[in-house]
Copies of this chain bind each other. A is one copy, B any other.
Amino acid sequence: MDLGTIVGLVLTLSLLLGAMAMGVGLGPYIDIPSLLIVFGGTTGVLLVGFKMEQMKNLAKYFMIAVKPPQIDTPELIKKMIEYSTKARRDGILSLENDANNEENEFLKKGLSMAVDGNEPDTIRELLEVDMEQSSERHKANAQIFAQMGGFSGAMGMIGTLIGLVAMLLNMSDPSAIGPSMAVALITTLYGAMIGNIIGAPIANILQVRDSDEILVKTLIIEGIMAIQSGDNPRTLEGKLLSFLPPKERESQFN
């Protein structure tokens, strides 16, 4: 589990809450109506801009950001080299059991198609469509958080404007100006916090996770193609390792 996201969220919130507490205490920074405007307004506007079914899964996307599926790429490459060696030695049908027991869904699908004797072009096209469509969906999900960033800022500003207008109409009591203004600013503060602690960073990590998944799936597609065409396992390994950073390239043939 990637602790970074959790650590980052806790660290940032602690620092900001600490800064509030050190000054006038946390109390004045908690304002339920302001929270409703910014949080509710942002949710409302996201409901306008995205499909209901996308919004329903928002919590799930957040959890993918926080706790991504772990894939051990070097291990995956090792496994594909083994499949490749076995297929070369005993024929591709010998991988039938491996395909059935494979846990990685994408690799399983590709292996099964190869074992079933589909054309290489058919397999490649189908796996690529699968990979691209899945990436499109991930990008659309990351977009929700990216737009959350923009909209929470806007809702914060709208809330502050509503508060400012109210304050400006009631300036007879000068001593009330400061507190009114403080309350008006709180929606801007909430908007900036939601946008910059949740919105933009979660959108970014979701894109990072998607890039990782595309890399893994590309490795699998290349591997399946090589297994089916009976390529030399050493050549296959050289190719797959080229996708990794130099220091992670460890050949099992040495």
Contact = CB atoms under 8 A, between A and B. Distances in A.
Interface of A: 2-5, 7-13, 15-16, 18-20, 22-24, 28-29, 33, 36-37, 40-41, 43-52, 54-55, 65, 105, 113, 118, 122, 125-127, 129-130, 133-134, 136-137, 140, 143, 147, 150-151, 154-155, 157-159, 161-166, 168-172, 175, 177-179, 181-182, 185-186, 188-189, 192-193, 195-197, 200-205, 208, 211, 215, 235, 238-239, 242-246
A125 to B, nearest CB: 7
A216 B162 CA distance: 43
Contacts of A41: 12, 15-16
Copies in the complex: 5
A128 to B, nearest CB: 9
B185 A164 contact: yes
A5 B48 contact: yes
Given A50-B208, A204-B147, A162 B245 contact: no
A105 B125 CA distance: 27
Given A50-B4, A181-B168, A16 B204 contact: no
Contacts of A186: 165
A166 B44 contact: no
A118 to B, nearest CB: 8
Given A48-B197, A161-B185, A200-B151, A23 B171 contact: no
A210 B75 CA distance: 29
Contacts of A2: 51-52
Contacts of A5: 47-48
Contacts of A182: 164-165, 168-169
Contacts of A147: 200, 204
Nearest to A204: B49
B201 A45 contact: yes
